[in-house]
Amino acid sequence: MNAPTNLAAPVNMGMDEDTFEQFAEQLKRYVRERLIPAEAQVIAEDRIPEDILKEMREMGLFGLSVPEEFGGAGLNMTQYARVVNIMAYAAPAYRSIFSINVGMFASALKNGATEAQKAEWYPKIAEGRIACFGLTEPGSGSDSAGLATTAVPDPDGNGWILNGTKRYITNAPHAEVALIMARTNKEALPKNAHVSAFLVPMNAPGVSTGSPDKKMGQSGSHIADIMLDDVRVPGDALLGGETGKGFVFAMKSLDNGRISVGAAATGYARRALDSALRYANERKAFGEPIANFQLIQAMLADSEIEIYAAESMMADVTARADRGENILVKAAAFKVFASEMCGRVVDRVVQIYGGAGYLAEYDAERFFRDARIYRIYEGTTQILQLQIAKHMLREWNRNV
């Protein structure tokens, strides 16, 4: 999925293309020969086995987007999205465990960290220490003006004291560091300048996590609350060393996160469709495979068409990102389309399976439950529709 040849060379060249293609082929084999056979264990135990986690760290999956000088693979956005897409063919937990590292956390470091912060945290996440991203709260999600977590200057030093609760935080039970968004000004300020970002070690006194939430799907991937009770962090924990920039860093990193979710939804839709193809050729009715029935073929064809469209969107938005373009709207559009598309595909897959699609012993039922969250996290479809429309209207008014 390279950028069109008639466009300018990308700003971010990433890994050497031949080397990356070899890595991608190796990863495809690993997904099919190692990760998919272990899915039953992941589901039964609701965890990724430690030996697989060790293998994933050794393969460098936790540092895909970390610059090479800090121990990472230095992938560009196009390559990163393809890796996510390949990994997402297997159970969602495998992507989820490293996605925050290489997505929103690494992106926030790139966009806003000081050189000292990059030198400290890039190598740690590249070696496989797990990160999480703390924006959502019990009383606020997309509404940053309602964010209640506070950070006030420490009267006993040059640091900060954090208090508040974060909710639905992916990988919170396993993370060693959290990027926490906190209010550093009591009043809501223009462009969300009342929000700042802090790098908070999860073993800092006063940090605790709730029990992992029970979820509809995505077994082995864990979310939990993070509680911050008079958590003291040093002054250099403030991302970028400047207050009022946290929301900007968060929003820029969310572009990355939305591409990751879109790539994952597209990869999982492909897995579901492949399963439906296999089932339709094996299942017989009226003396022949149901794959011969035209209405089954229509559902298969519609799914292939939509997956292809999402793959094309992924190639386009990531190429734009690598050229340094502003991708806020297109990343949102890709995430909306891919996540909604995945929902339609898994619904068709259940229908193709028929009665078997409603039974837990078949994969279709799991695909249906797993896919539902893609339309919610990293910005619900409805929030992203509002964001896209807002930018469309702003652009219209600018040009009239």
In whole angstroms, give the CA distance from residue 222 to residue 210.
Answer: 11
Q: What is the 3-state secondary structure (H, E, C) of 190-203?
A: HHHCCEEEEEEECC
DSSP for 6-52, please give it. TSPPPS---S-HHHHHHHHHHHHHHIIIIIGGGHHHHHHHTS--HHH
Single-letter amino acid, residue 193 = A
Determine which one of 306, 311, 365, 378 is catalytic: 378
Q: Is 378 a catalytic residue?
A: yes
Closest by CA position to 221, among listed 30, 39, 86: 39
Tokens in use for 317?
A: 């938005």
Q: What is the bridge-based pairing of β-strands 177-183 and 131-134?
A: parallel
CB burial readout 115-142, b (16+ within 10 A) else e = eebbebbbbbbbebbbbbbbbbbeebbe
Angle formed at CA 126 by CA 121 and CA 130, multiple of 5 degrees: 75
Active centre residues (catalytic): 378
